[in-house]
């Protein structure tokens, strides 16, 4: 499978990295969570991670499945800013149950066996309208994400704390 996940805690440089990969001509799927947060805030619903994580997770799963299926039609790499296992990790951190549908999605939509993990990076961490976690919470999420991906059978490759251009080179080298 050519669907490659870039995951990690909030504020670790994933979105910047995806933008750099786009500039190099790669297919990229933007972070679904940010899109959903903007939409749900505009609609004034409670389907937000800090209000109703279970509802938010269901919405995110629908979009992630759609993006996965779209990428499966391409023979080229598609880089994802998070993947379906991220939903499971967030639910675990929130001490919520993983539904049968979410568990089946983990098995039904397998990504590339390598998952690039962006570790917590305090020097670049900032809060914004969609990133409400503290750095400590972001670090906790990183560890939950790593555990979830490992238990799902993925091989984790930790991204070095390098400038974005070097991170792009690192990923492309690992995929050769």
Interval 69-87: pLDDT, tens: 999 888 899 999 999 999 9
Predicted confidence band of residue 129 (pLDDT cuts 50, 70, 90):
low
For domain 3-175, the CATH architecture is 3-Layer(aba) Sandwich (3.40)
CA atoms within 13 A on the CB side of 33: 23
| pLDDT greater than 90 at residue 150 | yes
Q: Is 154 exposed, middle or buried (0-12, 13-18, 19+ CB in 10 A)?
A: buried
| pLDDT greater than 90 at residue 12 | no
**Distance of alpha carbon 164 from alpha carbon 136, whole angstroms:** 23
Q: Is 65 exposed, middle or buried (0-12, 13-18, 19+ CB in 10 A)?
A: middle
| pLDDT greater than 80 at residue 126 | no
**Distance of alpha carbon 172 from alpha carbon 176, whole angstroms:** 7
Task: Provide the residue ranges of all domains of the chain, joining segments of one domain with +.
Answer: 3-175
Q: Provide the pLDDT for residue 63.
A: 94
């Amino acid at each position: 499978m050519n669907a490659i996940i870039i995951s990690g805690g909030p504020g670790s440089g994933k979105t910047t990295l995806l933008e750099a990969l786009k500039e190099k001509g790669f297919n990229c799927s933007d972070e679904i969570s940010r899109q959903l947060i903007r939409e749900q805030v505009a609609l004034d619903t409670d389907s937000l991670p800090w209000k109703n994580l279970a509802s938010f997770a269901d919405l995110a799963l629908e979009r992630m499945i759609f993006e996965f299926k779209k990428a499966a039609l391409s023979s080229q790499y598609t880089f994802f800013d998070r993947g379906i296992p991220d939903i499971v990790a967030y639910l675990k951190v929130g001490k919520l149950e993983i539904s049968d549908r979410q568990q089946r999605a983990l098995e039904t939509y397998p990504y590339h066996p390598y998952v690039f993990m962006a570790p917590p990076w305090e020097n670049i961490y900032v809060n914004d309208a969609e990133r409400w976690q503290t750095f400590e919470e972001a670090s906790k999420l990183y560890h939950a994400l790593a555990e979830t991906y490992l238990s799902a059978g993925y091989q984790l490759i930790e991204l070095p704390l390098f400038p974005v251009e070097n991170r792009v080179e690192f990923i492309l080298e690992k995929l050769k």
